């Protein structure tokens, strides 16, 4: 496999597998919360990526893939 083929395999197939695993975990979760209160960001965490944002991937100047981001990216040194 070329580096591009390997990247596309991971970026496409692994994402599908991850979505399937998350759906299965969701079916197995407790019907009641196992925590109290809201989740909080680390102090001064910067948002670097948003849930649902469309991401384009380029290789040698050519767009080779596009995916939907299913998380949020936070950066913090705390």
Q: What tens digit of pLDDT does each residue of 53-68 get? A: 999 999 999 999 999 9
- Rounded Cα–Cα distance for residues 39 and 52 (Å): 19
The predicted-structure confidence for 33-54, as pLDDT tens digits, reads as follows 999 999 888 888 999 999 999 9
Which pLDDT score, from 0 to 100, does residue 54 have? 96
Which pLDDT score, from 0 to 100, does residue 77 have? 81
Of the pLDDT bands very low, low, confident and very high (cuts 50, 70, 90), residue 14 is: very high
- Give the long-range contacts of residues 63-66, CB within 8 A, separation 24 or more: 64/4, 64/7, 64/8, 65/7, 65/8, 65/11, 65/12
Sequence spans of domains, the chain? 3-75
């Amino acid at each position: 496999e070329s580096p591009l083929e390997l990247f596309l395999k991971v970026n496409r197939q692994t994402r599908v597998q991850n979505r399937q695993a998350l759906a299965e975990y969701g079916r197995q979760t407790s019907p009641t919360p196992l925590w109290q209160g809201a989740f909080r960001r680390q102090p001064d965490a910067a948002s670097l990526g948003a849930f649902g944002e469309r991401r384009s991937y380029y290789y040698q100047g050519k767009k080779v893939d596009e995916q939907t981001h299913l998380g949020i990216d936070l950066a913090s040194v705390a």
